[in-house]
Amino acid sequence: MRRGLSLLLTPLMTTALLAATPVAQAAPEPGCPWVGSDAPVEEKVGQVLSRMTLDEKLGLVHGAAGPFEFVGPTYAGLVPAIPRLCIPQLGLSDGPAGVGNSHTGVTQLPAPLALAASWDRELAAEYGGVIAREVLGKGANVVLGPTVDLLRDPRAGRAFETLGEDPHLVGELAAAQVGGIQDAGALAQAKHLAAYNQETLRNTPADNAVVDERTLQEIYLAPVQDTVDAGVASVMCGYNRLNGVHACNNSYLLNQVLKGQFGFDGFVTSDWFATQASYAAANAGMDLQMPGGCLFGPRLRFGVATGAVPTARLDDMVSRILRPMFRHGLFDRPATGSPDDIVTTPENAGVARRVAERGMVLLKNDDAVLPIQNRRSIAVLGEAAGSGVIGSGGGSPHVIARSIVTPFDGIARRADQDGVEVRFDAGRHADEVAAESDLAVVVVGKWSTESKDNKDIALSAQDNGLIEKVAAANPNTVVVLNTGGPVAMPWLDDVAGVVASWYPGQEYGAALASVLFGDAEPSGRLPVTFPAELADLPTSDPARFPGGRYDEGLAVGYRWYDREGIEPLFPFGHGLSYTTFAYSDLRTDGDTVTVNVTNTGRRAGTEVAQLYVGRPNTGGEPPKRLEGFQRVTLRPGETRQVRFELDERSLAHWDTGSHRWVRAAGDHTLAVGGSSRDLPLSIAVHVPDTTAVSEPTPAPPPGAPAGGDGTLTTLGNVLTCPTEMLYAGAVGAISLVGLPPGKQAEITPVNPSAGG
């Protein structure tokens, strides 16, 4: 997305000028004693800071992209090295689903939403590790991920980039991903702070999320805190305004909550051209401007010189960038890797396949149409099974594979092992091919991308028509959804099976075949509710999406369907298996909850046990929320005890009077089962007294801005930095038309020859 926008806008901006101050490079400090030192991190940060010139400090707080570059140079963003002080460069690389920025020789991982459907913390850490190793192999060292935005509306262009609709699920998996990235030696950057949930007119005053304090804290900020608790090095502020103030100069978000309430000691980076202020952004707590360097270069220099930005704030910005660089060894490792290196490996491809397999959700399986067995012929139908395959969504999460295993290729290879005939048709004669086959697999897709929201949750009329005519021709029809989120299914009653495969990366076909044939047990569970129709969405009112009014409050996702008594098409947490499970003996002991899970079927399988908590005296708020989950793999007949650990927030809510987390007195309900609508066991936990379980949000620091820059400062920004200000507006304008899809793979996917 970033490269595409650059190519689109550059011809329009040839008259723009960017003021820049060159930084002269002095001789290296003798020995750079902080390199290889065992001294405490803060001591090393102080040593470097004390030797830095003003030019060097300013050079560390912004990117090096030129006036006509929307990214780069080389990566999405670059902070040049300072050789005199042995400070290595920072290369910031997209993104949350693998190495992006049009680089090749990388692993195309499944989209984060597919990872979320695995409900697997260990797999999330592996996923993060793959991204980090490949980013480092390309010579960069900062991963622009994980994404901690919630899937508030499935029409959002970046829905596939999220980890689902629930803050606990998002926070747990994002924290695990942070651990995987940083254990591998790269810096993780969680994004976006906060309540960034749409593309329409983003980065403009029209993209203003109006959110009450309790909803903000419990829903949209909670996953950010989880990544901070996991030690995330950086946090990216987003394009949206929050209650009228742009996220990147919002002192409540950055100073009071992130750095104060959460105790974050790393650096805040702007999204690309999301810096809409100079002095106000710095004083509000933003530390690093991306991708260019005017507002935090010449403009910040002037602000420091005039006292509008205290020197101590600039020193804090620099310290926050140096701190994680020391903490994660960037000073002590020689730079390796190159953008031209091939960094994908069979091991990384194996992780991609496991994520795709574990993330596929079996939504419907009438008459045990799956797994495939005792079939002589299979029809694989639809463009999305061949040339129209989608492994990766669009925009900054887009990753280009060397090649993609298409659904047809994967099914055909696996079927060959059993001597099963496989035929293909893109659609024109699909019903005829289906009628002549024992089983029909119809693969359909829906494209989603950063830069443009979708107008609905419908498949194309062509795809819906394809499914309907195939289902009429063959009762054993299975639909595979290659989509970035929930879609409507007007044909649901007419098909025997449905599998949600999401955007499953380069190993798509191999993983799909493994699940369809039963070599891998379908263990994915929905990280998002599938509504029956668009009108059922909590955000169906245009004033909410894309209007920006968040007055559904806490009722996001399944909480809305529960509170309003709406029956979803498929509930949050739902997913079928090739076996069955039973729950028994729910107990609590202090902050520990245990339950027995038994495999009551004839096959081994994996269940995702889910714990939901209901507060006392709800007074109109949603009746329950997810507070724990555990994957458990069981042999036929095996029983295992599953354990959930509650923390200080599990039974608490955000109290807007005291601006802190409070555990309310009364009976809290704990319910356990296999989905948000399948909770066979429950137990009450009595809390005798109302108790505060956190410190309150700190007050604004001295000098914190209430909003953006003043009129004269803004005028100075525009006159000094016209290119940056124009690009900032272009980010929103592009959302009205979107950008064309990038290629899925270096080797273009194709339809098989006629007849398969």
Q: What is the β-pairing status of strands 90-93 and 77-79?
A: antiparallel
**Rounded mean pLDDT of the chain?**
94
Q: Can you give the pLDDT at residue 20?
A: 38
Catalytic residue among 271, 453, 536, 655: 271
> Residue 756 pLDDT more than 90?
no
Q: What is the pLDDT of residues 446-460, one digit of tens each?
A: 999 999 999 999 999
Q: Report the candidate in 611, 577, 582, 614 with the shortest Cα–Cα distance to residue 599.
A: 582
pLDDT-derived band at 429, boundaries 50, 70, 90: very high
Q: Is 641 helix (H, G, I), strand (E, B) or coil?
A: strand
Token reading at 494: 């007419």
Residue-level pLDDT at 13: 37
pLDDT digits (tens, 9 = 90+) for 567-593: 999 999 999 999 999 999 999 998 999
What is the CA 147 to chain-centroid distance, rounded? 3
Cβ pair 382, 444 in contact under 8 A: yes
Contact 615, 605 (CB under 8 A): no
pLDDT for 366-413, tens place per residue? 999 999 999 999 999 999 999 999 999 999 999 999 999 999 999 999
What is the rounded CA–CA span in Å between residue 475 and residue 392?
A: 31
Q: Looking at domain 35-342+713-734, does it have CATH number 3.40.50.300?
A: no
Question: Looking at the predicted structure, is the pLDDT value of residue 10 above 70?
Answer: no
Q: Are 425 and 381 in contact, with CB atoms under 8 Å apart?
A: yes
Nearest to 670 by CA among 555, 591, 568, 574: 591
The token pair at 634 is 């069981």
Q: Tell me the mean pLDDT in the region 705-720.
A: 94
Check if 456 is active-site.
no
Domains of the chain, residue spans: 35-342+713-734, 346-536, 574-692
Band of pLDDT at residue 501, cut at 50, 70 and 90: very high
The region of weakest confidence among 9-23, 303-317, 339-353, 514-528 is 9-23
Enumerate residues 6+ apart whose C-beta is below 8 A from 541: 547, 549
Give percent of the chain with pLDDT exceeding 90: 90
CATH superfamily of 346-536: Glycoside hydrolase family 3 C-terminal domain (3.40.50.1700)
In this prediction, residues 312-319 reach a mean pLDDT of 98
Q: Could you tell me if 148 and 116 are in contact, meaning their C-beta atoms sit under 8 angstroms apart? A: no
CB count, 10 Å around CB of 62?
Answer: 24
Helix count (H) and strand count (E) of the chain?
A: 20, 25
Q: Which helix (H) or strand (E) is 652 found in, with range?
A: strand 652-655
Assess whether pLDDT exceeds 70 at residue 754.
no
The residues near 728 (Cβ < 8 Å, ≥ 6 apart) are: 203, 273, 274, 275, 276
Q: What residue type is 309 in one-letter code?
A: V
pLDDT reading at 23 higher than 50? no
What confidence score (pLDDT) does residue 14 get? 34
Query: What pLDDT, on the 0 to 100 scale, is given for residue 398?
Result: 96
Q: Sort 493 into a burial class: Cβ within 10 Å, 0-12 / 13-18 / 19+.
A: exposed
Segment 98-112, tens digit of pLDDT: 999 999 999 999 999
Window from 25-39, 602-616, 708-722 with minimum mean pLDDT: 25-39
This model's pTM is above 0.85: yes
pLDDT at 742 over 90: no
Tens digit of each residue's pLDDT (9 = 90 or more) over 598-650 = 999 999 999 999 999 998 876 678 999 999 999 999 999 999 999 999 999 99
- pLDDT, average across residues 257-278: 97
Strand order in the sheet with 361-365: 361-365, 497-500, 477-483, 439-446, 377-381, 421-425
Q: What percent of the chain has pLDDT over 70?
A: 96
CATH code of the domain made up of 574-692: 2.60.40.10
Give 31's pLDDT tier (boundaries 50, 70, 90). Answer: confident
Sheet architecture: strand order including 625-634: 625-634, 605-614, 666-673, 681-687
For position 202, what pLDDT does the model report? 95
> In this predicted model, which residue has the larger pLDDT, 363 or 754?
363
Q: Are 240 and 196 in contact (CB under 8 A)?
A: yes
Cβ contacts of 569 within 8 Å, gap of 6 or more: 486, 488, 489, 492, 530, 531, 532
Q: What pLDDT, on the 0 to 100 scale, is given for residue 27?
A: 53
In this prediction, residue 621 carries a pLDDT of 87
C-alpha span between 180 and 127 (Å, rounded): 7
Report whether pLDDT(474) > 80: yes
Mean pLDDT confidence for 263-276? 97
One-character DSSP codes across 352-418 = HHHHHHHH-EEEEEGGG--S--S-SEEEEESGGGTTT--SS-BSTT---BS----HHHHHHHHHHHT
Which among 61, 70, 134, 57 has a CA at the least distance from the CA of 96? 134
Q: How far is it, in rounded angstroms, from Cα 694 to Cα 653? A: 11
Whether the per-residue pLDDT at 24 is higher than 80: the answer is no
- Both tokens of residue 485? 């989120």
Is the pLDDT at 15 greater than 60, yes or no?
Answer: no
Question: Going edge to edge, which strands form the sheet with 234-237?
Answer: 77-79, 90-93, 142-143, 187-193, 234-237, 267-270
- Section 537-541 average pLDDT: 97
Residue with tokens 């997913």: 575
Confidence of residue 68 (pLDDT cuts 50, 70, 90): confident
Dihedral angle computed from the Cα positions of residues 4, 6, 12 and 14, in that order, rounded to the nearest 10 degrees: -150
